[in-house]
């Protein structure tokens, strides 16, 4: 349910408020029983439903921006040269797209929405021991049925992939 109240001295500012289901992860003003309440202040000539649709789609980008900044080293741009920074951003974009493609095609469905840091903890921070049998470094992982099931499922999905035709 969306309400609109125009409170402006210039006639151009609109204030819309909305009530939505509480399951939505976007921040809210407050929740009361099973409803979450939000408010938007805008000068866009939109209906209350239009304001909600416009800003609701934009709010979904905030977690992705945070993930790029934290997990893909975008907190600080490395140089002051425009061309070097553009190349750096293209490499970060490629890395993001490769990880996302790997998630969507090779990982179980419950892993497809994980951030890169959570993927690292599940895929690379596994308990193991570096040993040297016959003076050859060997990484041995714990013999866990859960890890073995993950590995088998991921490898099965990788084997099903078809090569790119160019």
Asked whether the beta carbons of 48 and 3 are under 8 A apart, the reply is yes
Euclidean distance between CA atoms 88 and 74, whole angstroms = 9
Residue 33 scores a pLDDT above 80: no
Euclidean distance between CA atoms 110 and 6, whole angstroms = 44
Asked whether the beta carbons of 16 and 6 are under 8 A apart, the reply is no
- pLDDT, tens digit (0-9, with 9 covering 90-100), for 115-140: 888 888 887 777 778 899 999 988 78
Higher pLDDT, 123 or 92: 92
Residue 50 scores a pLDDT above 60: yes
Backbone angles phi, psi at 69, to 5 degrees: -65, -45
Euclidean distance between CA atoms 111 and 119, whole angstroms = 8
Handedness of CA 110, 116, 121, 126 (dihedral sign): positive
Residue 47 scores a pLDDT above 50: yes
Asked whether the beta carbons of 72 and 93 are under 8 A apart, the reply is no
Average pLDDT, the chain: 77
Residue 80 scores a pLDDT above 50: yes
Residue 57 scores a pLDDT above 70: no
Q: Which of 13-27, 29-43, 81-95, 108-122 has the highest mean pLDDT?
A: 81-95
Is the pTM for the entire model greater than 0.75? Answer: no
Q: Which of these, 20, 13, 17, lies nearest to 48 by C-alpha position?
A: 17
Euclidean distance between CA atoms 140 and 136, whole angstroms = 12
Euclidean distance between CA atoms 116 and 14, whole angstroms = 39
Residues 13-25 have a mean pLDDT of 49
Residues 49-71 have a mean pLDDT of 76
Euclidean distance between CA atoms 151 and 166, whole angstroms = 29
């Amino acid at each position: 349910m969306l309400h609109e109240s125009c409170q402006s001295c210039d006639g151009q500012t609109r204030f819309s408020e909305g009530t939505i289901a509480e399951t939505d992860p976007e921040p809210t003003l407050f929740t009361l029983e099973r409803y979450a309440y939000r408010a938007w202040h805008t000068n866009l000539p939109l209906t209350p439903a239009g304001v909600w649709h416009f800003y609701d789609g934009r709010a979904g980008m905030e977690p992705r921006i945070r993930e790029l900044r934290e997990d893909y080293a975008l907190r600080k741009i490395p140089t002051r040269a425009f061309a070097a920074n553009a190349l750096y951003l293209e490499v970060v974009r490629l890395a993001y797209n490769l990880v996302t493609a790997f998630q969507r095609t090779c990982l179980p469905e419950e892993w497809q929405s994980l951030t890169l840091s959570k993927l690292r903890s599940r895929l690379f921070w596994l308990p193991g021991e570096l040993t040297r049998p016959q003076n050859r470094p060997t990484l041995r992982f714990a013999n866990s049925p859960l890890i073995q099931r993950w590995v088998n499922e991921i490898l099965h999905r990788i084997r099903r992939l078809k090569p790119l035709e160019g």
